[in-house]
Amino acid sequence: MNEEQRLAEELHHRARSLFGRSLHVRTLDTGSCAVCESEIRLLAAPPYDLNRLGFFFTPAPRHADLLLVTGPAVRAMDVAVRKTYEAIPDPKLVVAVGACALGGIWKQDALVHGTVDDVLPVDVYIPGCPPSPLALLHGLLVAVGRLEEKVASLSFDLREVTP
Amino acid sequence: MLWFARGLLRRVVTTRYPRRTDAWAAALPSPPAFDSARLTPELAARLVARCPNGSLAIDGGALVLDLGGCTGCGRCVAEGDGAVRPSGVFELASSERIGLVKRIPIKGARK
């Protein structure tokens, strides 16, 4: 790792620590089937209640710290995606939600980019079709550095004992 | 909800992520886990053909599972004849896209 990468990493870490225990979330639908949105909406329901963890939904990207992006990044949304991202004040986090956003469903063609990676710098990926509200909560807490990622230690091999 | 009473008592409005997940969470649709001792090249080829969105692939003697593309549809579980089971894992958030790609060795496959 060279000096430039180390500085970038350090800046990233400090940006995350700035968010502390309260931040505002803006959702952006780039052509999803709305099931991810349905699960995101469930985050505000009493069993999950993301407000108690210090997360709040905001209708305006200018008030947001974190962008939840769903859908396969349809090209018709290119301008809206760019404007939304630019409107969010620094430091900002981008979280890609669902199999579409992670490039699992749609291949790149004339209509879609196929993955949110092509249009935005993604910080955290949350897989699932759709990801359950608990998976989303875990992903949000990973994004702000309050929980550790678990997936790296899992092998998905039934013969291997996971540490 | 109990956290509300706790918040009133301690005068802390935010709480932590649950230490243990609820029992029903294991029944959520989740990516498959494979029994590598029973994962023959023939079975692996069948699983790859069955996956509707190309989240399974064979690469150099290993079955490559892309968790990012997996929808948890369960077709490989139905095809796998007991060698494939739902993993029950849903806390899969990762800051690296490549961290979501898992390699499971295929039994008796040439590298």
Examine residue A7 and state whether it is found in any structural domain, yes or no. no
Regions of chain B short of the pLDDT cut 70: 1-4, 6-7, 11-16, 109-111
Q: For chain A, what is the mean pLDDT? A: 85
Residue-range definition of the domain harbouring residue A88:
15-153
Q: Which helix (H) or strand (E) holds A137?
A: helix A133-143
Examine residue B1 and state whether it is found in any structural domain, yes or no. no
Entry pTM: 0.84
Examine residue A120 and state whether it is found in any structural domain, yes or no. yes
For helices A133-143 and A35-42, the axis angle rounded to 10 degrees is: 80
pLDDT, one tens digit per residue, over A151-161 is 878 888 887 75
Which chain B residues are within 8 Å of A53, Cβ to Cβ?
14-17
State the number of CA atoms in the 13 A half-sphere of A95 facing the CB: 30
Assess whether pLDDT exceeds 80 at residue A16: no
Percent pLDDT > 70 in chain A is: 90
Examine residue A163 and state whether it is found in any structural domain, yes or no. no
Residue-range definition of the domain harbouring residue B69:
29-105
Q: Tell me the shortest Cα–Cα distance from A52 to chain B, in angstroms.
A: 4
- Kindly report the CATH number assigned to the domain that includes residue B60: 3.30.70.3270
Per the CB < 8 Å rule, is B94 touching A152? yes
Question: How many domains in chain B?
Answer: 1
Confidence of residue A163 (pLDDT cuts 50, 70, 90): very low
pLDDT for residue B74: 87
pLDDT for residue B103: 87
Examine residue A10 and state whether it is found in any structural domain, yes or no. no
Question: How many domains in chain A?
Answer: 1
